[in-house]
Structure 1
């Protein structure tokens, strides 16, 4: 059972998705259930995790409504205001939503360097941990030190690092620094990592498998075969490559370096992490 551990869905609106600029014209269209079903079927996936792309409860509920329509979506990673004093009450409204497996905040978009030190945000993360929800960590590589500090305050939280923490693959800048910080996070057995979103951090038009291999090798060595999962980051990945291309580059790497772990990395680990 192959599970794509990271994809998005949207009805495109230029105001709500203002981060999609003219360099991403391929994304300026709808990506909904029909497109998802066709794409996953063509690539041999029988399940997926739908991840939030907007920071609204409206989108969380929309994704959950889509998940009710198909067995293909095994879980939803939504958004909720973790700093809200009413967080407990808001979460209680989702008690019956079995496919709501976790939450994410677009920390990469936060300009405040102290955002991850906010005591209300940390308290919100602890609430998620207490209720058994998972957390997707979306950050840039330069935010890793703050993330390390933040997660040290929530040791019981199960976390997966999205897009290998977005190192600058295009230039290879600060590779060793990224490597060291990822090693620190990997010491926590509750922290997983997605092999996702890599081509969009490389040169969109001229990336090569060789550009990505040092990063994939680092993730596999640090987190091991049981804490790594494949995610396409479709449709965002389309700015740099087709779904089949993205899948194949990771599959080839795993076949060459850990062939015995293929089923885990392409499904079992996501199933365990998201409790689906």
Structure 2
């Protein structure tokens, strides 16, 4: 039976110090979000499993997510954080060899003020080390960073990379759609690059979005990547800024049913299992 996977969600115990990026306007997120809560939502929405993605850039975060995966069987994979520029990165990775739930890593590139951060030779070296040890990489960027991301991808042709949140185009305004689409098409040509249909609602008009707002973006993603390299992620609990878990899931469900119903299982499970080796 196909495992139905939410390929992108987060857990946290909220503190102002650790989650300073959550502003007052986002106060719905200023509380704990833990596996017990997600377990209920997954069952209600006919999902079996999830991939927990880092929300803090610390080794403590990585270790905590691994602990949660060890405790809760439905957490099938962890995307953690390590300093990919660290001289001892390889030694650090060897320390996780007995943690098969750790599947990959992510850096919050969208928050880096220097657009060339991701092209630093030390960072690229770190990505090569990830690939050497069988890990994958979640690419978290804004659409305006796509030109740099394309240069990055060209330097690591054998590293499995997934673009988080369709690279965060400006869905609310529609600004830059063509530029976003052109580079997403280029990235999709690399066989090692996948895309998550996740995090879209937070780039839309949070209070007034309609499912049709996402159709041009979903068309572009599926036309570029096909149904074999796209995976669903809820981005829970961040998605709660714009809707319930079921609201977010149904954006993709309602799109797939008339357009690619035969590939529903791929987007909602098979591709995530393959990419993350769940």
TM-score range, shorter chain: over 0.9
Are 1:248 and 2:262 matched, yes or no?
no
The separation in 1 between residues aligned to 2:242 and 2:25, in whole angstroms, is 11
SS at match of 2:90: helix
Are 1:67 and 2:69 matched, yes or no?
yes
SS at match of 2:71: coil
The separation in 2 between residues aligned to 1:101 and 1:239, in whole angstroms, is 28
The separation in 2 between residues aligned to 1:262 and 1:94, in whole angstroms, is 34
Offset, 1:130: 1.0
Equivalent residue pairs, number: 276
Runs of 4 or more above 2 Å deviation: none
- Match of residue 220, structure 1, among 186, 198, 222: 222
Offset, 1:169: 0.3
Are 1:10 and 2:18 matched, yes or no?
no
Please list the CA deviations of residues 122-151 of structure 1 after superposition, one character each: whole Å capped at 9, or x if unmatched: 000000011110100000000000010011
Offset, 1:117: 1.5
The separation in 2 between residues aligned to 1:163 and 1:20, in whole angstroms, is 18
The separation in 2 between residues aligned to 1:117 and 1:226, in whole angstroms, is 28
The separation in 2 between residues aligned to 1:227 and 1:204, in whole angstroms, is 27
The separation in 1 between residues aligned to 2:214 and 2:23, in whole angstroms, is 25
The separation in 2 between residues aligned to 1:214 and 1:245, in whole angstroms, is 18
- Match of residue 145, structure 1, among 141, 147, 166: 147
SS at match of 2:104: strand
- Match of residue 117, structure 2, among 115, 118, 142: 115
The separation in 2 between residues aligned to 1:258 and 1:241, in whole angstroms, is 24
Please list the CA deviations of residues 63-115 of structure 1 after superposition, one character each: whole Å capped at 9, or x if unmatched: 00000011100000000000000101110110000000000000000001211
Please list the CA deviations of residues 223-253 of structure 1 after superposition, one character each: whole Å capped at 9, or x if unmatched: 0010000000000000000000000111010
Residues 23-172 of structure 1 aligned to structure 2 (within 5 Å): 23-172=25-174
Aligned to 1:237: 239
Aligned to 1:185: 187
Gaps of 5+ in 1: none
- Match of residue 19, structure 1, among 16, 21, 25: 21
The separation in 1 between residues aligned to 2:109 and 2:255, in whole angstroms, is 29
The separation in 2 between residues aligned to 1:12 and 1:188, in whole angstroms, is 38
Are 1:271 and 2:273 matched, yes or no?
yes
Aligned to 2:262: 260
The separation in 1 between residues aligned to 2:201 and 2:258, in whole angstroms, is 19
The separation in 1 between residues aligned to 2:85 and 2:62, in whole angstroms, is 17
The separation in 2 between residues aligned to 1:162 and 1:150, in whole angstroms, is 15
Gaps of 5+ in 2: none
The separation in 1 between residues aligned to 2:220 and 2:237, in whole angstroms, is 25
The separation in 1 between residues aligned to 2:95 and 2:133, in whole angstroms, is 13
- Match of residue 194, structure 1, among 193, 196, 207: 196
